[in-house]
């Protein structure tokens, strides 16, 4: 059981605290409720570029990292389609340094052309390293616009086109800051060796004076229901053929999320997953295969991807994937198999919550989606799933008309 | 600005120790709040021991591919059913299996672990499938400039004929047979060669249970042959691997170095952090934060039983390759000639002391930190020495270490792209 306290400051900043005295450290996590879905289609990649700029210092504290390091701390951040998340761990005695630093950069960032130019180059190299210079690195860049026609999930967090990063100017950056970075658009979570009283006092002291800001209203176009199978074939200079299939899902907060997550676990969780057992181990069609559900807040995707063994026809491989899925549509699961995936979920939940940083991130995210108690009762939601719910969900979501397929083929002559 | 309290790692937790009836050593790290456990069954069966390419890693990966009483799929089903996770690993020195599980299932897990470790059958059909899969993974990896560069660096510093340097080729994936794996297994995966590191919530009967499942085992009497492998670094210091169509070039600059047993090692840890071991390092500041040439640049020093090695790694756009290389050497030279400023050294020291606190936060982190000194025959005294060195090292000592250990003539420079 993870106990936590929740407060809201007058300026709208939400604060969560979980005390864990078994560690000498404290983790501080701040979620800003902004991700790449909040960008304009003409200027994508901004949320992520902004995350880089947040380490550029302020007029008041020019070097963010320096003080944190002097305090024995460590920090990083990530951006995805929905959120921007900043996190710090440091020895408990120095926690006030983290408050000082995070409140300062929430208050006002120092925007300079020089810093912007440098971070643009860094992000362009990140784009090159992760997406262009890795075999299969661009697969999701291709799949997103195939699956989404309207919703901003159609572009990746790094940006729809790298020219968007190149072209962005300081006024846009400044505007982005004031319309998204604000106490009333953030959740501050503290876990570890800190009491609730101390956390609330420090929050009031350091964040209390920052004024509310006018957050840009989120009005995202809903993705219309997909009602025809989509597919695309690309050829790339890669060593082996790969197959990608994605299906639209429901919202993160719907109960279907849990059912579909459980189904992807049945399919590919661990070595005893159905896809692995049948298609890697028995039929030897794939060298690896994986399926998972995205944790997107708006309706997300189930993503299946596999790399083919030599000489296997990609359509035959796809057919056998469909067979594994169709089995789930027709036959009820055995109780041991249901039990297996539920046990696995319970166990990974326990292991994940041994880290104060994981606990901080999870608490923040659950609070953002409006149900902080999920930190303790998400396991029950999996426990309540029955065989009938599984068969219904597979039939509802795993339809060809809800599916986009990418045939990612090797352009090389296959050696004998 | 709030005052900063000096970071003090304090007392480092000691591992408990027990011997099973057959003298298998058990190390116990009791910490954490949940009733869970991690057990590392570890052997000196890493890459350095193999007499054929891929032999050590394949033997390790085949442990869960079928055994005396369980087929692979049954074994995995049972482990999954109990919510257990495992991680088979082959490092340069060691190999083994780490299992994470909930304590209520300990008896079943230990029974399966014994089966996995000591009764594998290495079935031919499964081996064939595994090798086909591994070949596909290998082919994908050989498409990454980062893999091409690091594989070449290991070949250059350890030599073509040393198991840690030898690069696998496609034919190597066809050459392993069940008999070869059995032979390797019977030499290296023996009760005499096993150490068990337990961490998490230790119960009163934990050692008794380990004795029940592992205390009676004895090997058939085979002992490990001396490998006789000698490190013979390549002559050529600069190698470029051409990769058609690459957008970026991977750079790896490094050489053999001292390992943990050497008295200079703790000082080298500090030097490494200054150079490229943290986000504010010289290399990051110059090459990423001032010039924007890369998404990341890091340096590490690593310790193996036979030797240590150090590597600087980065990926940069093709046209910036030479510029980045020049800047790397410039930063090294600067460390050799100009003493580090007190302020910068202060930042490094505090960051490193914070890292030490994190290395001992929670049972699993403690277990890993324990193992990384234990395998060199060292104990917590190493960490106390390291803490002392971090606190007291002076700029001059860093300059001297940089001169001794970063001679540019010793460094290998590998590029792929």
Q: Is A120 within 8 Å of B292 when comparing Cβ atoms?
A: yes
Best mean pLDDT range from A51-55, A117-121, A203-207, B7-11: A203-207
What 3-state DSSP class applies to B160? coil
Whether residue A416 has pLDDT greater than 60: no
Q: What are B255-311's pLDDT values in tens digits? A: 999 999 999 999 999 999 999 999 999 999 999 999 999 999 999 999 999 999 999
Cβ-contact B198, B4 below 8 angstroms: no
Whether residue A414 has pLDDT greater than 90: no
Q: Choose the mutation target among B9, B81, B141, B368 for the interface with A, i.e. most A CBs under 10 Å.
A: B81
Q: Is A272 within 8 Å of B76 when comparing Cβ atoms?
A: yes
Q: Is B295 within 8 Å of A93 when comparing Cβ atoms?
A: no
On whether the B238-416 domain is CATH 3.20.20.80, my answer is: no
Give contacts of A307 with chain B, Cβ < 8 Å. 136, 140
Which pLDDT score, from 0 to 100, does residue A269 have?
A: 83
CATH superfamily of B16-214: Metalloenzyme, LuxS/M16 peptidase-like (3.30.830.10)
**How much is the average pLDDT of B230-251?**
94
The Cα of B270 is separated from the nearest Cα of chain A by a number of Å equal to 14
Which pLDDT score, from 0 to 100, does residue B221 have?
A: 63
Residues 6+ positions from A323 with CB-CB distance below 8 Å: none
**Residues 316-355 (A) with a CB less than 8 A from some CB of B:** 336, 339-341, 343-344, 346-348, 350-351, 353-355
C-alpha A157/C-alpha A129 separation (Å) is: 15
**Residues 177-216 (A) with a CB less than 8 A from some CB of B:** none
**Cα B163 from chain centroid?**
16
Rg (CA), chain A: 23
C-alpha B306/C-alpha B303 separation (Å) is: 8
Q: Is B77 within 8 Å of A272 when comparing Cβ atoms?
A: yes
Half-sphere exposure of A211 (CA within 13 A, CB side): 3
Q: Which of B72, B137, B358 sits opposite A287 (nearest CB)?
A: B137
**Residues 146-205 (B) with a CB less than 8 A from some CB of A:** none
Listing from the earlier edge strand, what are the strands of the sheet with B95-102?
B16-19, B25-30, B195-200, B36-43, B95-102, B85-90
- CA torsion B65-B68-B69-B72 (nearest 10°) is 10
Q: Is A70 within 8 Å of B350 when comparing Cβ atoms?
A: yes
Chain B residue at shortest CA distance from A71: B4
The Cα of B200 is separated from the nearest Cα of chain A by a number of Å equal to 10
C-alpha B159/C-alpha B306 separation (Å) is: 13
**How much is the average pLDDT of A309-313?**
94
* Cβ contacts from A onto B, under 8 A: 198
Give contacts of B148 with chain A, Cβ < 8 Å. none
Q: Percent of chain A beyond pLDDT 70?
A: 99
**Cα B320 from chain centroid?**
31
The pair phi, psi for residue A248, each rounded to 5°, is -70, 145
Q: Choose the mutation target among A102, A125, A191, A286 for the interface with B, i.e. most B CBs under 10 Å.
A: A125
Which pLDDT score, from 0 to 100, does residue B241 have?
A: 97
Give contacts of B292 with chain A, Cβ < 8 Å. 117-122, 125
Q: Where are the domains of chain A?
A: 5-207, 230-410
Pairing between strand B36-43 and A5-8? unpaired
Give contacts of B136 with chain A, Cβ < 8 Å. 239-240, 287-288, 307, 309-310
Q: Is A240 within 8 Å of B248 when comparing Cβ atoms?
A: no
Which pLDDT score, from 0 to 100, does residue B229 have?
A: 85
C-alpha B221/C-alpha B257 separation (Å) is: 36
**Residues 48-87 (A) with a CB less than 8 A from some CB of B:** 65-67, 69-74
Which pLDDT score, from 0 to 100, does residue A271 have?
A: 82
C-alpha A124/C-alpha A161 separation (Å) is: 10
Give contacts of A240 with chain B, Cβ < 8 Å. 136, 139-140
Would you say the CATH fold of A230-410 matches that of A5-207?
yes
Q: What are A207-224's pLDDT values in tens digits? A: 999 999 999 999 999 999
Q: What are A334-387's pLDDT values in tens digits? A: 999 999 999 999 999 999 988 999 999 999 999 999 999 999 999 999 999 999
Q: Which of B136, B244, B247 sits opposite A240 (nearest CB)?
A: B136
C-alpha B413/C-alpha B417 separation (Å) is: 13
Q: Is A239 within 8 Å of B136 when comparing Cβ atoms?
A: yes
Q: Percent of chain B beyond pLDDT 70?
A: 99
Mean pLDDT, chain B, integer: 95
C-alpha A263/C-alpha A252 separation (Å) is: 15
Q: Is B80 within 8 Å of A344 when comparing Cβ atoms?
A: yes
Pairing between strand A242-248 and A301-308? antiparallel
Q: Which two tokens stand for residue B81?
A: 């059913």
Q: What are B369-416's pLDDT values in tens digits? A: 999 999 999 999 999 999 999 999 999 999 999 999 999 999 999 999
Whether residue A248 has pLDDT greater than 60: yes
Q: Which two tokens stand for residue A68?
A: 């944190």
Q: Is B278 within 8 Å of A67 when comparing Cβ atoms?
A: no
What 3-state DSSP class applies to B199? strand
Q: What is the CATH number of domain A230-410?
A: 3.30.830.10
Nearest to A162 by CA among A195, A124, A125: A124
Q: Is A239 within 8 Å of B143 when comparing Cβ atoms?
A: yes
Which pLDDT score, from 0 to 100, does residue A238 have?
A: 93
- CA torsion A92-A93-A97-A99 (nearest 10°) is 50
Q: Where in chain B is the domain with CATH 3.30.830.10?
A: 16-214, 238-416
Q: Is A72 within 8 Å of B351 when comparing Cβ atoms?
A: yes
Question: What is each CA distance from B232 to B154, B236, B415, in whole angstroms?
Answer: 11, 12, 21
**How much is the average pLDDT of A120-147?**
94
Chain B residue at shortest CA distance from A288: B133
Whether residue A415 has pLDDT greater than 60: no
Q: Which of A23, A69, A132 sits opposite B351 (nearest CB)?
A: A69
| Alpha helices in B62-216, H assignment, sequence order | 72-81, 106-118, 124-141, 145-158, 178-188, 206-214
Q: Is B315 within 8 Å of A343 when comparing Cβ atoms?
A: no
Longest Cα–Cα distance in chain B: 67
Q: What are B88-134's pLDDT values in tens digits? A: 999 999 999 999 999 999 999 999 999 999 999 999 999 999 999 99
Q: Which two tokens stand for residue A168?
A: 């962005």
C-alpha A91/C-alpha B49 separation (Å) is: 41
**How much is the average pLDDT of B163-181?**
96
C-alpha dihedral sign at A161, A165, A168, A174: positive
Q: What are B209-220's pLDDT values in tens digits? A: 999 999 999 887
Return the CATH class of domain A5-207. alpha beta
**How much is the average pLDDT of B184-209?**
96
Q: Is B2 within 8 Å of A129 when comparing Cβ atoms?
A: no
Q: What are B33-66's pLDDT values in tens digits? A: 889 999 999 999 999 999 999 999 999 999 999 9
Q: 């193996």: which residue's tokens?
A: B304
pTM of the entire predicted model: 0.93
The pair phi, psi for residue A343, each rounded to 5°, is -60, -40
Give contacts of A348 with chain B, Cβ < 8 Å. 83, 85
Whether residue B350 has pLDDT greater than 50: yes
Which pLDDT score, from 0 to 100, does residue A110 have?
A: 86
Give contacts of B293 with chain A, Cβ < 8 Å. 121, 125
Nearest to B95 by CA among B66, B121, B53, B56: B56
Question: What are residue A199's DSSP bridge partners?
Answer: none
């Amino acid at each position: 059981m993870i106990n936590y306290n929740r407060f809201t400051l007058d300026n709208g900043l939400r604060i969560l605290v979980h005390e864990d005295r078994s560690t000498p450290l404290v983790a501080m996590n701040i979620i800003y409720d902004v991700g790449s879905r909040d960008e304009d289609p003409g200027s994508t990649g901004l949320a992520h570029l902004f995350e880089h700029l947040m380490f550029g210092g302020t007029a008041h504290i020019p070097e963010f990292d320096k003080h944190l390091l002097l305090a024995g701390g460590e920090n990083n951040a990530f951006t995805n389609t929905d959120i921007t998340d900043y996190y710090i761990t440091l020895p408990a005695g120095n926690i006030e340094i983290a408050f000082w630093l995070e409140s300062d950069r929430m208050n006002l960032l120092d925007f300079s052309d020089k810093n912007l130019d440098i971070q643009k180059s860094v992000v362009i190299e990140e784009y090159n390293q992760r997406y262009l210079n890795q075999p299969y690195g661009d697969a999701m860049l291709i799949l997103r616009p195939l699956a989404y026609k309207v919703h901003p999930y159609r572009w990746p967090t790094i940006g729809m086109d790298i020219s968007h990063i190149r072209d962005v100017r300081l006024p846009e950056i400044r505007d982005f800051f004031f319309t998204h970075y604000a106490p009333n658009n953030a959740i501050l979570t503290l876990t570890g060796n800190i009491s609730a009283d101390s956390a609330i006092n420090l929050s009031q002291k350091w964040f209390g004076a920052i004024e509310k800001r006018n957050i840009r209203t989120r009005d995202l176009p809903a993705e219309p229901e997909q009602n025809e199978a989509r597919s695309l074939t690309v050829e790339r200079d890669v060593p082996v053929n790969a197959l990608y299939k994605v299906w639209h899902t429901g919202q993160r907060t719907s109960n279907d999320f849990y059912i579909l997550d459980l189904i992807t676990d049945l399919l590919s969780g661990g070595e005893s997953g159905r896809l692995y057992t049948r298609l890697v181990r028995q039929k030897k069609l794939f060298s690896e295969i994986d399926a998972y559900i995205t944790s997107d807040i708006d309706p997300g995707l189930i993503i299946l991807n596999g790399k083919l063994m030599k000489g296997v026809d990609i359509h035959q491989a796809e057919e056998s994937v469909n067979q594994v899925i169709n089995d789930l549509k027709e036959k009820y699961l055995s109780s041991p198999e249901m039990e297996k995936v539920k046990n696995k979920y319970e166990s990974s939940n326990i292991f994940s919550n041994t880290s104060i940083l994981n606990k901080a991130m999870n608490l923040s995210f659950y609070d953002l989606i409006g149900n902080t108690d999920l930190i303790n009762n998400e396991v029950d939601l999996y426990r309540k799933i029955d065989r009938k719910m599984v068969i219904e969900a597979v039939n509802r979501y795993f339809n060809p008309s809800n599916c986009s397929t990418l045939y990612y083929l090797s352009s090389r002559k296959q050696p004998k | 600005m709030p005052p900063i309290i000096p970071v003090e790692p304090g007392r480092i937790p000691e591992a408990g120790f027990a011997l099973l009836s057959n003298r298998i050593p058990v190390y116990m790290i009791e910490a954490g709040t949940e009733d869970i456990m991690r057990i590392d069954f570890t052997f000196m069966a890493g890459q350095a021991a193999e007499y054929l390419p891929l032999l050590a890693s394949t033997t390790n990966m085949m442990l869960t591919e079928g055994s005396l009483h369980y087929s692979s799929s049954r074994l995995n089903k049972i482990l999954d059913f109990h919510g257990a996770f495992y991680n088979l690993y082959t490092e340069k020195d060691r190999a083994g299996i780490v299992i994470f599980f909930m304590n209520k299932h300990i008896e079943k897990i230990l029974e399966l672990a014994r089966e996995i470790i000591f009764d594998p059958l290495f079935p031919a059909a499964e081996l064939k499938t595994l090798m086909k899969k591994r070949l596909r993974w290998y082919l994908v990896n050989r498409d990454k400039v980062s893999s091409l560069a690091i594989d070449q660096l290991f070949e250059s510093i350890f030599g073509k004929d040393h198991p840690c340097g030898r690069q696998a080729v496609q034919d190597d994936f066809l050459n392993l047979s069940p008999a070869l794996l059995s032979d390797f297994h019977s030499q290296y995966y023996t009760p005499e060669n096993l150490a068990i590191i337990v961490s998490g919530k230790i119960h009163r009967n934990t050692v008794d249970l380990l004795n029940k499942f592992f205390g009676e085992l004895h090997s058939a009497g085979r002992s490990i042959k001396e490998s006789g492998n000698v490190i013979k670094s390549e002559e050529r210091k600069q190698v470029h691997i051409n990769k058609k169509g690459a957008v970026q070039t991977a750079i790896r600059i490094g050489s053999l170095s001292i390992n943990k047993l050497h008295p200079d090692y703790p000082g080298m840890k500090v030097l490494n952090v200054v150079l490229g071991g943290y986000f504010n390092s010289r290399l990051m500041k110059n090459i990423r934060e001032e010039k924007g040439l890369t998404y990341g640049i890091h340096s590490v020093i690593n310790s193996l039983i036979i030797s240590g090695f150090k590597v600087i790694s980065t990926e940069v756009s093709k046209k910036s390759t030479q510029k980045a290389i020049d800047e790397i050497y410039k930063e090294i030279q600067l460390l050799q000639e100009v003493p580090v400023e007190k302020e910068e050294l202060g930042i490094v020291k505090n960051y490193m002391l914070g890292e030490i606190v994190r290395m001992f936060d929670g049972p699993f982190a403690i277990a890993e930190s324990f193992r990384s000194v234990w395998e060199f025959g060292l104990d917590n005294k190493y960490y106390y020495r390291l803490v002392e060195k971090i606190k007291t090292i002076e700029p001059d000592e860093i300059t001297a270490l940089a001169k001794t250990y970063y001679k540019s003539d010793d460094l290998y420079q590998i590029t792929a792209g």
